Chain A
Amino acid sequence: MPAPTCASCGSARAALRRPRSGQALCGSCFCAAFEAEVLHTVLAGRLLPPGAVVAVGASGGKDSTVLAHVLRALAPRLDISLHLVAVDEGISGYRDAALAAVRRQAALWELPLTVVSYADLFGGWTMDAVARSTAGSGRSRSCCTFCGVLRRRALEEGARLVGATHIVTGHNADDMAETVLMNFLRGDAGRLARAGGLGSAGEGGALPRCRPLHLASQKEVVLYAHFRRLHYFSEECVYAPEAFRGHARDLLKLLEAARPSAVLDLVHSAERLALAPAAKPPRPGACSRCGALASRELCQACALLDGLNRGRPLLAIGKGRRGLREEPPACAPPAAAPTPAPAPPPPTTCAQQNDLRSRSVTCAYQTSIGM
């Protein structure tokens, strides 16, 4: 059967049906509607006031590519200026290729680009070094836990470097729904309390952050990129197969197949969640080491780095932060201990590593990135 006609312009062939309204639109009208919705999200939530200097977290991936493209189109209307900030976590074979994509985008769109690296910010602790450090710890790899915390810190530093007043990231509705599921599955009341917000207002001196695409479904983000002919980097991080988020993602995909609105419904549920008084997290204070927002003595980033530097990477992972109040190590770890970012990770002989690797059958992309 032929595709219906676009409900908006009435002339072109419809390219898709919008999940929420059921309206059939052609590629061009869909892109216009998508941009109008992002504009509405920003205006209605007062996310980016006129004059804002906006640091866009740019990874070269589909979401940040679409985010940067849409905000660039809306920038004159919103009276904001944009600055791309890319984070180099030091993941050989993955991040280098992704950064190349970001550089191409910055050149194409004539936007300033700043790259910040874990190696510089965190005393040589690249993700490859963290992964080696956590490799022998059993169960699933927890290096992704480190990356989530450290990347947010890195983005904050990059944003400050360029004098930004706001940070935006490309999280879409599916990402938000996965996060809600993850927080429930881990009993993380503190995060659940914050899960629904449009963004964080920037307590404790942190820059305000928001996610203009948080109501856009992942499918529509990809289709927008397709119809606007945007080029992005589309390989999976080499460590991703071991991240906990994968379980939430699989569950979400099954749920979505049974009930398409489940994704957005989860996001809305989280927005409306109220915690029992006993579950409410305490008012955050300041990290005793770096001054950033912290609900305990050390902020997450400092606690994680502390564990790494003590040779006990899992010290700050999980509840209770067992052992953190122990006296500091007798001598500081040698600066040369973590391998500098440019060197590719040496082949590992740890049995655990082989186990994890043999579980994910070697395939083309793993080989191509030198794994």
Chain B
Amino acid sequence: MAAPLCVEVEFGGGAELLFDGVKKHQVTLSGQEGPWDIRNLLVWIKKNLLKERPELFIQGDSVRPGILVLINDSDWELLGELDYQLQDQDSILFISTLHGG
């Protein structure tokens, strides 16, 4: 049983364009049966924040290849990726790398 959580979800590198151009979102996740991990955060984002073209952000149950995920400024690879269990006041940043440079 997971208690309700407040986390900050941020989008950068162009990904914000899929979210009405808004970069930072303060998100309250309600208490629920299972834990809040990145996997179900993505489901939540798709349902509640994503404004258009979900295929540009999500692929399957993960992010589209080319989108980096930083949790509290650390690469999610170090923290278990989709299985990382969210904690109150965590900051999750999604940076798109999919554009010319």
Q: Which residues of A contact B (CB under 8 A)?
A: 1-4, 13-17, 24, 27, 59, 61-66, 170, 172, 175, 218-219, 221-223, 226, 232, 234-237, 240, 249, 253-254, 256-257, 361, 363-365, 368
CB-CB nearest in chain B for A253: B65
Identify B78's interface contact among A16, A61, A254, A256, CB under 8 A.
A16
B14 CB within 8 Å of chain A: yes
Are B14 and A234 in contact (CB-based, < 8 A)?
A: yes
Flag if B97 contacts A219 (CB, 8 Å).
yes
Give the shortest distance, in Å, between A13 (CB) and chain B (any CB).
Answer: 7
Contact across chains for A17 and B101 when beta carbons are under 8 A apart: no
Give the nearest-CB partner of A16 in chain B.
B75
In Å, the complex CA distance between A62 and B96 comes to 11
> B66 to A253, Cβ gap below 8 A?
yes
B52 touches A363 (CB 8 A): yes
Residue of B51, B70, B99, B100 contacting most chain A CB atoms (<10 Å): B100
Chain A residues contacting B68 (CB-CB under 8 Å) are 219, 222-223
Determine chain B's interface SS by DSSP, over half rule.
Answer: loop
* Complex alpha-carbon distance, A16 and B68, angstroms: 11
Centre residue among A235, A236, A363, A364 by max chain B CB count within 10 A: A364
Count residues on chain B whose CB falls below 8 Å from chain A CBs: 28
Do B101 and A59 have beta carbons less than 8 Å apart?
yes
Name the 8 nearest CB pairs between A and B, nearest first.
A63-B101, A61-B101, A234-B14, A253-B65, A16-B75, A62-B101, A365-B17, A3-B74
Report yes or no: B96 in contact with A234, Cβ–Cβ below 8 A.
Answer: yes
Q: A16-B74, A59-B100, A363-B17 are in contact. List 10 more A-B contacts (CB 8 A).
A: A17-B77, A17-B78, A62-B99, A65-B101, A234-B12, A235-B17, A236-B99, A253-B65, A364-B21, A368-B21
Report the Cα distance A62→B78, complex, angstroms. 24
B51 touching A364 by the CB < 8 A rule? yes
Most chain A Cβ neighbours within 10 Å, of B73, B74, B80? B74
* Closest chain A residue, CB of each to CB of B56: A363
Q: Which residues on B are within 8 Å of A, measured CB to CB? A: 12-14, 17-18, 20-21, 51-53, 65-66, 68, 70, 73-75, 77-80, 95-101
* Bound CA–CA A175/B98 (angstroms): 11
Q: Does A364 lie within 8 Å of B80, measured CB to CB?
A: no
Q: List 7 A-B contacts (CB under 8 A).
A: A3-B74, A14-B74, A15-B78, A16-B77, A17-B75, A235-B99, A361-B53
Measured between beta carbons, the chain A residues less than 8 angstroms from B52 are 361, 363-364
- Measured CA separation A237–B101 after assembly (Å): 10
Contact B97 A222 (CB under 8 A): yes
Whole-angstrom distance between the alpha carbons of A13 and B73 in the complex?
10
Chain B residue, CB-CB nearest to A250: B65
- Docked pose: A257 CA to B62 CA in angstroms: 12
Question: CA of A221 to CA of B13 in the docked complex: distance in angstroms?
Answer: 12
Given contacts A15-B73, A61-B101, A223-B68, are A3 and B17 in contact (CB under 8 A)? no
Which residues of chain B come closer than 8 Å to A221, judged between CB atoms? Answer: 97, 101
**Residue pair A64, B65 in contact (C-beta under 8 Å):** no
Question: In the assembled complex, which residues on chain A have CB atoms less than 8 Å from the CB atom of B53?
Answer: 361, 363
Interface centre among B12, B18, B101 (most CB of A within 10 A): B101
Q: Which residues of B contact A254 (CB under 8 A)?
A: 65
Task: Give chain A residues whose Cβ lies under 8 Å from the Cβ of B101.
Answer: 59, 61-66, 170, 172, 175, 218, 221, 232
Complex-state Cα separation, A170 to B101, whole angstroms: 7
A364 touches B65 (CB 8 A): no
Q: Are B51 and A62 in contact (CB under 8 A)?
A: no
Minimum C-beta distance from B18 to chain A (A): 7
Q: Are A226 and B79 in contact (CB under 8 A)?
A: no
In the complex, A232→B77 CA distance in Å?
Answer: 25
Assess whether B100 is in contact with A4, with CB atoms less than 8 Å apart. Answer: no
Q: Which residue of B lies closest to A245 (CB)?
A: B100
Q: Which residues of B contact A4 (CB under 8 A)?
A: 78
Complex Cα gap A63–B53 (Å): 26
- Residues of chain B with a CB closer than 8 A to A15's CB: 70, 73-75, 78
Instruction: List the A side residues contacting B51 at CB < 8 Å.
Output: 364
Contact present for A24 and B78 (CB under 8 Å) = yes
